[in-house]
Structure 1
Amino acid sequence: MGEKSSVLVPLNEMLEDALKGNYAVGHFNINSFHWVEAILEAAQEENSPVIVASSNRLIDYLGGFQSIAYFVNKTIEAKNITVPVALHLDHSDSVERCFEAIDAGYTSVMIDGSHFPIEKNIELTKRVVDYAHKHGVSVEAEVGTVGGNEDGVIGNINYADPQECLRLVEESQIDALAAALGSVHGPYKGEPKLGFAEMKEIFELTKVPLVLHGASGIPLQQIEKAIEYGHAKINVNTECLQAWTNSVYEYIDSHKDTYDAPSILKAGKQAVKAVVKEKMKDFKSSNKAN
């Protein structure tokens, strides 16, 4: 078993507080270990709960579940991070991978069976929930298809069916539901248009915290409405990646003689940190850490 810091908390505790407080907790993906520091420093400075997430496709690149959990815990300890932190596995397509994350000390996992028929989705999700809940770990699942590039898979938007959402929640007892309602992973072409009528119906039917994937680039007014309609977890990755890349390009362009990796990477880290802090303000989670 991986080490568990006293600060790491299950996702359901955070999201229940968020629903009551009319705010959302930001989920920010790790793309290197510098990003862990950027995300945690931002959360501490904003006094905000935070979800540090590792995408399923990057687990091996980052050294495996044990390495990720160890580094997150040790960074929390070294930087004296006192705000609530959840460590989350994003978009796992495998029950076994979810089990590995749980055994390594993750406090939240997402099993994504959304590309299967609802019966198969429920079956996979229930297996993960049964194991996770025995270990005090929260589970997120998805219905419908978020468009764009999702862990290397290009897909079109497929709206979640409200009755399928209800079945998944009731039969698997998940803690959070990602209902695809018009968002996409990656940059948007034109202004995104979320399905707010469907969103309201699904939240009223299921009564569980909703998760908004692909939030980068969604106008603040729509974000606020999504929170009003039950979204307690909002995922951001593309905007952080864009900020990191632009900052690194700019630094290299203005320091053409440098080959000092820490200086280059520090510029990227600061850019990510700034985006995370901005999103926490937008999601109204600043100063909501208990």
Structure 2
Amino acid sequence: MTAQYSADFEKALQVGRPPNIRALFPNSKALIVSGKVVDRAMLAKGKAIAMAANGRNYFVIRGALMAAQRANCPLIIEIAKSEGGQKAYCAVNYWNMARIVDALCNELGITVPVAIHADHYGIKNDKDLNAAKVEIPTMFEAGITSIAIDASHLPDDQNLLANLAINPFIPSWAGLETEVGEIKGNTGLSTVDEAKFLIQGLNAHGIFPDWIALNNGTTHGLEASDAGIQVGLTAEIHKALEPYRVNGAQHGTSGNSSERLRAIANETATTKANVATALQMISWGLEVNDYGNAQLDADGNFIKKSDAGMSDELWAEMVAHAEGKGWKKGDYKNLNLPFENKLLAQPREIRERMAKGVEEFAYKMMTEVLNARDTAPYAIEAILSAGSYDVGAKGSRIDDPALWTEARIIERAKSIVGDKGAEGNFDD
């Protein structure tokens, strides 16, 4: 399509693209920005949440971009470490995602700002931390503009210390998300004390995250019911963090009703909502409900719609592959990597309807649930007001660094009351 580039867009394109993006795509018309810019747009409108679409396949990214253009709202395209890291189960990864987004934005004439987010960059031990110091710079070199450091698997003091240790390897202009309380459903719920401990400790060291992710009752992946986000708990924690001007990142939206997500927008300080499993299932052509959960037939099988998503023949091949591996329904995400090229090799009309299904679902969510319609101008204004790709931090130092030395962090953590919940692998 032929894009119409406004004067403000052209100005934002000149100053709003971070150095890594300008170096990678010197002649691009794609406005790829820091995650901070997207967050600021949601704050400017108020009670608005940006969709962070997990680009598990090419069609999800294409459809989400088309939806954002229609809704005139900025978008975050992301991939998690489990999805797109060194042990990925998706073909889209930390090192090619920006290239895919840039190419699609130019092809489709996308004029809304888009951030490229490395979600759930997990740090579970010293080995992970040391590896991160090498790997994270390579991700930014490849076009990442925002990152979520997830050391929530660790005890509170080690979570904070890991965040502090890795921060020098993250550009100051980049969007920054941190996490307290591993996402694992209604077990190990985050507390005010845990969240304040993490944010205060970062603040004392001059680190001001844009978002904090909580375990507020939701899960990653498939949900069997609409049980999920605890809105009251989320609001309570966000209220306690108000002086630090950190907003919420909501994970695991696919298991939650539109009504509950609207409550998150209206009653909490959330400005980012991750959507993964629902978009994957829709791109494939599976039947989903309002919660974005794939529906099962009487025999417990996914319901493939013949007029949507991939061809029925390719779906049958994917199901046979999964059954041959002995995979449960929650393991079907592992089909992304071995079947990406087969999906791309389908006829144009099939490929287009895969992306169109994602577009329709994402557009409705952006406009009717997340209240993000027409927030792109706010993002452009944030760039132009700053005159830079770096819109600065929202927070400022409140806490005394002398009270947050490593020794004091370890000592302080002993008094935190919290329940880390059940053991197990909750990555997605």
TM-score range, shorter chain: 0.7 to 0.9
Structure richer in strand, relative to its length = 1
- Of residues 67, 72, 96 in structure 2, which corresponds to 1:47? 72
- The DSSP-based 3-state class of the residue aligned with 1:65 is coil
Cα shift at 1:115: 0.6
Quote how far apart the aligned CAs of 1:254 are. 9.2
Give the distance between the partners of 1:179 and 1:55, measured in 2 at CA. 16
Aligned equivalent of 1:18: 42
Q: Which residue of 2 aligns with 1:288?
A: 375
**Distance change >3 Å, CA 249–CA 178, structure 1 → 2:** same
Counterpart-to-counterpart distance in 1, 2:118 and 2:233: 27
Which one of the candidate residues 156, 159, 169 is aligned to 2:199?
169
Unaligned residue ranges in structure 1 (runs of 5+): 149-155
Amino acid at match of 1:139: L
Contact 2:55 2:92 in 1 (8 A): no
Corresponding residue to 2:284 among 242, 245, 258: 245
Q: CA deviation at 1:285?
A: 0.5
Question: For the pair shown, which has the larger CA radius of gyration, 1 or 2?
Answer: 2
- Displacement of 1:39 in angstroms is 1.4
CA distance in 1 between partners of 2:146 and 2:219 (Å): 22
* CA shift for structure 1 position 63: 6.0
Q: Secondary structure at the match of 1:261?
A: coil
2:55/2:77 contact within 8 Å kept: yes
- Give, as a single letter, the amino acid of the residue that structure 2 aligns with 1:174: P
CA 1:79/1:92 → structure 2, altered by over 3 Å: closer, same or farther?
A: same
1:111 match: 149
Note if contact 1:102-1:137 (Cα within 8 Å) is conserved in structure 2: no
Equivalent residue of 2:51, what SS? strand
Matched to 1:163, the amino acid is: D
2:169 counterpart (131, 144, 151): 131
Computed over aligned residues only, the root mean square deviation of the Cα atoms, in angstroms, reads 2.5
Uncovered stretches (5+) of structure 2, i.e. residues with no partner: 1-19, 124-131, 203-207, 287-303, 316-341, 378-428
Partner SS state of residue 191, structure 1: coil
Per-residue CA deviation, residues 15-34 of structure 1 (Å, 9 max, x unaligned), is: 23313421100011111223
Q: 2:94, 2:222 → 1: CA distance?
A: 28
What's the TM-score, normalizing by structure 2? 0.60
2:182 is aligned, of 145, 163, 188, to 145
**Any idea what SS the aligned residue of 1:158 has?**
coil
Name the CA distance, whole Å, in 2 between partners of 1:225 and 1:129.
33
Q: TM-score, normalised to structure 1's length?
A: 0.87
- With 82-91 and 33-42 compared, the bigger mean Cα shift is at 33-42
65-74 vs 1-10, greater mean Cα deviation: 1-10
Q: Partners of 2:187 and 2:52 in 1: how far apart?
A: 21
Q: Are 1:226 and 2:264 counterparts?
A: yes
Amino acid paired to 1:265: R
1:186 lines up with 2:221 in the alignment: yes
Between the two proteins, what is the percent identity of the paired residues? Answer: 23
Contact 2:41 2:376 in 1 (8 A): no
Match in the other structure for 1:278: 364
Provide the rounded CA distance (Å) in 2 between the counterparts of 1:8 and 1:125. Answer: 25
In the alignment, the residues of structure 2 paired with residue 17 and residue 283 of structure 1 have an alpha-carbon distance, to the nearest angstrom, of 13
Q: Which residue of 2 aligns with 1:214?
A: 252
Q: Deviations over 1:66-105 (max 9, x none)?
A: 3222221222223221111110011111434433322222
Inter-partner Cα distance in structure 2 for 1:71 and 1:254: 27
8 Å contact from structure 1 (residues 147, 183) kept in 2: yes
